[in-house]
Structure 1
């Protein structure tokens, strides 16, 4: 964990020293993961998405970004589990606190790629590495109380579209899609979608 934090800090300082422009936005995201056995759970999150363009042309840019998301899992409602062996149903709640911290390099084109790009539509695609944390999730299955959670890390890919809102060429709405695959014991897989207003 300390190595990851040091790596992120070094990248931010290095890119800040040589970057051509800084951009950021804020929005909402939803993630779907398989950390809880036999169930796909949902994380609703607030996302703050800063990025540095370290290379720019008139039509595109290359950037280093850290779209940080912080959110919650579950709503406290009872969830029913069906045991195929015994034929019995048990229920419980799934709750948790989550942090998703990717470090991604993106290729940006069209709208939102630079502060001077006046295209109405644009997009981006890229890849990187993610650290993901979920606090304990308590649930009931087969009559036994169980808990899952912890941190994971692994590669991630993302992409999406940007649409100019008129006026200032950089005020745009971004639709983001992502996929993450954990490499440690959790073997977490997670899909994400989000909408971000870039300032």
Structure 2
């Protein structure tokens, strides 16, 4: 059975045959500048990890605001001593203590969603997984929490993180994110009260 993103990534990390791992998802690609930067550091002997700016393409448009950029991710790291945490969703890379992380130039292009429907389906999937994680951590949600959280999410992404500068796409991103927040906390309440689907 599938044990979550972290377990899958750790399994694949263990299969790596070289000292460094470049971890990218199936919907990601290196741009030319990032590729050149990685080729340059191959000549160095320093032991460190490297982070990249991830730039998301949403329904055909690059998103420069909405809290989606810069989306800094550590994706090039030594195999030895590095692992993904045990979270079922939103996994985090754990590096050896004290290991420096250096920012690389260029972008990791992220071709995330090809339609609004695709975004909504995947957002709800992640929300359900997050609700399970929160429930296992003993967290609870009041009856107002889904709506207050959704309002906060929309205002944060569309106004404070300047999603309006991404135009119509920025509005859709904020709207779907708010809607999935409602779903997440309603699902948490359902789990809290032991209700079946």
TM bucket (normalised to shorter chain) is under 0.3
Structure with higher RCO (Cα < 8 A, 6+ apart): 2
Determine which structure has the larger strand proportion and give its number. Answer: 1
TM-score by length of 2: 0.23
